[in-house]
Homo-oligomer: A and B are copies of this chain.
Amino acid sequence: MPKTNRTRVAVLGLLTTSCKTGYDMKQFIDQSLAYFWKISYGQIYPTLKQLVEDGAVRIKNENADKKEYEITSVGREELTNWLSELPDALPTQKNELLLKLFFSKNQEVEKSVALLRHQQELLEEKLAAYEAIEEMIRESDEESEDELYWMMTLDHGKRLARASYEWCEASIKTLRG
């Protein structure tokens, strides 16, 4: 049994929001789920084409300049099947900072401290970005069923960013102490 292609299901999921075109999807992702999922045009357009071939998606309105898509019942089934699937393990989250730190006996302590301080700055920026997205979702007029779930994913981002920030703080103390 081949494992599910996540780009496929992400595109299907996006068609259950206000996204109708490939362009919409890219815009939407860049301003909302970019912090835990990214996607490029090089994935979106070929995936849409494939989904149409498979009958999971149909073209609503074919103009030369703006193709609108909608999900079919076949697509909905594929989406909901994937949604309820339980993973058999936690995926490895590749982390370049940790990889560097792991080998940091090979550099001066102050360089590692600089790495951690810089990480803290990036995390502060990220937290600010989360607040901005939260504000944007809250202010959108549409009373969407999605809102609750979107806030939950943001909450995850915020909690992990805070935990990571605190770890930086503790690690700097360890290195200097």
Query: Which of A's residues lie within 8 Å of B, judged by CB?
Result: 6, 9-10, 13, 16, 33-38, 76, 79-80, 82-84, 86-87, 89-107, 111-112, 114-115, 118-119, 122-123, 126, 144-146, 148-150, 152-153, 155-156, 159-160, 162-164, 166-167, 170-171, 174-175
Contact = CB atoms under 8 A, between A and B. Distances in A.
Contact of A38 (B34, B82, B92, B163): B92
Contacts of A149: 101-105, 112
Contacts of A76: 106
A174 B87 CA distance: 22
A114 B84 CA distance: 8
Q: Report copies per complex.
A: 2
B102 A84 contact: no
B164 A36 contact: no
Contacts of A166: 159
B87 A96 contact: yes
A98 B153 contact: yes
Contacts of A101: 149, 152-153
A111 B84 contact: yes
Nearest to A168: B156
Given A37-B98, A106-B80, A174-B152, A122 B92 contact: no
A83 B103 contact: yes
Given A89-B122, A111-B83, A123-B90, A146 B105 contact: yes
A100 to B, nearest CB: 5
A149 B104 CA distance: 7
Contacts of A83: 100, 103-104, 106-107, 111
